[in-house]
Structure 1
Amino acid sequence: MYWAEFFTVALIHLLAVASPGPDFAIVVRESVGFGRRAGIYTALGVGVGIFVHVAYSLLGIGLIVSQSIVLFNALKWLAAAYLLYIGIKALRAKPADPASLDLDKPAGERSARGAFVTGFVTNGLNPKATLFFLSLFTVVINPHTPLLVQAGYGVYLAAATALWFCLVAMLFSQQLVRAGFARLGHWFDRLMGVVLVGLGIKLAFTSLR
């Protein structure tokens, strides 16, 4: 009965998640810098972050945020500050010790928790995701659709997001790919820093309407 609605939600989500943004940038950076394990935990953090957006969309809190310039700006500036923080850290990257470029050795120190939290915070604080999920749950999904079915959509969205970024992590953590990026050394970190700072600045100038 709800298959048509589900496929519409799935298609819109696919187009949105495939569009490069903060989530993509942070998963790529973690995967290249720290290896597959860190990249996958970051991807899982991004996926779990989706539940934050789904939860407040189902509770109607997203509507309140979208109608409050103060709340929206608070979320926007917090997210922008976080992206600028990790972006500036990347910009300050120094050339690596040649010995550290041996990819047969374990990847740089990065805890699973640290990688997961990075992905979770990056996604959970994104106000553009707030507007996306608000429009999804108020315009695309019929308000008469049972709450349990809507929650099922949310589970799918979180799982699909995590799966997509796990694939991204697996791609960018491959030995051949990482070896190519490793030759660029700190320049890759700086490039990703520019991307993250740019996304942070762009986010800071995002308007509610």
Structure 2
Amino acid sequence: MYWTEFLTVALIHLLAVASPGPDFAIVVRESVTYGRRAGIFSACGVGTGILVHVTYSLLGIGLIVSQSIVLFNALKWLAAAYLLYIGIKALRAKPNAANAQLQMEEGARSPRAAFVAGFVTNGLNPKATLFFLSLFTVVIDPHTPLAVQGGYGLYLAIATGVWFCLVARLFSQQRVRAGFARLGHWFDRLMGGVLVALGVKLAFSELR
């Protein structure tokens, strides 16, 4: 009975994770500068960071929904305004000039250091904070069992890790970097439309 909800979550997440941002940047940097292994470990760190956002989204939203309409509405309008802001900004994205080539650095870049780089980048990203709070407010029914919501969260973490592992494999091949950079603004524009729609839906949502 939760398949429709899950598929909606998965689709929104797919569009979000495909849009270049801080996570994308750190994985590309690790992959291009230090090689494929570092890129994959940083991707795993990003995926693990998702669990941080999922955990406090589950606990925080549950508390807000169950105990305080005022807090719910305050969060709703803050998140909606933020989503509209970054959505409109993304819709106006323009092509960027290709970055200067980075020299491949040989030697010491431990898997732990690469993992921590990905984890910290995602875990401390305030944009991810409001995005996940918005996602768990708008799309997921507060009455959906916490075990099911936790399953959604586990999927989001795994899917994020897998996506960025693919990014790491791609960008560890130097020849494709410039071409993808030229197309990055189209991903921004697509994500911008989704974020604007999500922000509007959030603004008109009501506590159930």
- Does the Cα contact within 8 Å between 1:33 and 1:108 map onto a contact in 2? no
Post-superposition CA distance 1:9-68 (Å, at most 9, x none): 00000011111100001100000000000000000000000000000011117967x969
Worse-matched range after superposition: 137-146 or 55-64: 55-64
The equivalent of 2:192 in structure 1 is: none
The equivalent of 1:166 in structure 2 is: 165
- Does the Cα contact within 8 Å between 1:50 and 1:158 map onto a contact in 2? yes
Q: How many residues align?
A: 147
- Does the Cα contact within 8 Å between 2:46 and 2:160 map onto a contact in 1? yes
Residues 24-103 of structure 1 aligned to structure 2 (within 5 Å): 24-60=24-60
Worse-matched range after superposition: 169-178 or 28-37: 169-178
The equivalent of 2:139 in structure 1 is: 140
The equivalent of 1:19 in structure 2 is: 19
Structure 2: any 5+ residue segments left out of the alignment? Answer: 65-70, 76-101, 179-208
The equivalent of 1:119 in structure 2 is: 118
2:169 alignment partner AA:
M
Percent identity, please. Answer: 76
For residue 151 of structure 1, report the CA deviation from its aligned partner.
0.1
1:59 alignment partner AA:
L
The equivalent of 1:5 in structure 2 is: 5
Structure 1: any 5+ residue segments left out of the alignment? Answer: 69-94, 181-209
1:55 alignment partner AA:
T
The equivalent of 2:206 in structure 1 is: none
1:130 alignment partner AA:
T
What is the CA–CA distance in structure 2 between the aligned matches of 1:177 and 1:140, rounded to whole Å?
36
The equivalent of 1:109 in structure 2 is: 108
2:150 alignment partner AA:
A
2:139 alignment partner AA:
V
| SS at 1:60 equivalent | helix
What is the CA–CA distance in structure 2 between the aligned matches of 1:11 and 1:177, rounded to whole Å?
26
- Does the Cα contact within 8 Å between 1:40 and 1:165 map onto a contact in 2? yes
For residue 138 of structure 1, report the CA deviation from its aligned partner.
1.2
What is the CA–CA distance in structure 1 between the aligned matches of 2:61 and 2:118, rounded to whole Å?
22
What is the CA–CA distance in structure 1 between the aligned matches of 2:56 and 2:152, rounded to whole Å?
14
2:12 alignment partner AA:
I
- Does the Cα contact within 8 Å between 2:61 and 2:133 map onto a contact in 1? no
What is the CA–CA distance in structure 1 between the aligned matches of 2:74 and 2:127, rounded to whole Å?
14
CA distance change for structure 1 residues 54 and 109 in 2, over 3 Å: closer, same or farther? Answer: same
What is the CA–CA distance in structure 2 between the aligned matches of 1:61 and 1:25, rounded to whole Å?
29
1:56 alignment partner AA:
Y
Residues 162-201 of structure 1 aligned to structure 2 (within 5 Å): 162-174=161-173, 176-177=175-176
What is the alpha-carbon root mean square deviation over aligned residues?
2.8
For residue 109 of structure 1, report the CA deviation from its aligned partner.
1.8
For residue 139 of structure 1, report the CA deviation from its aligned partner.
1.2
TM-score by length of 2: 0.64
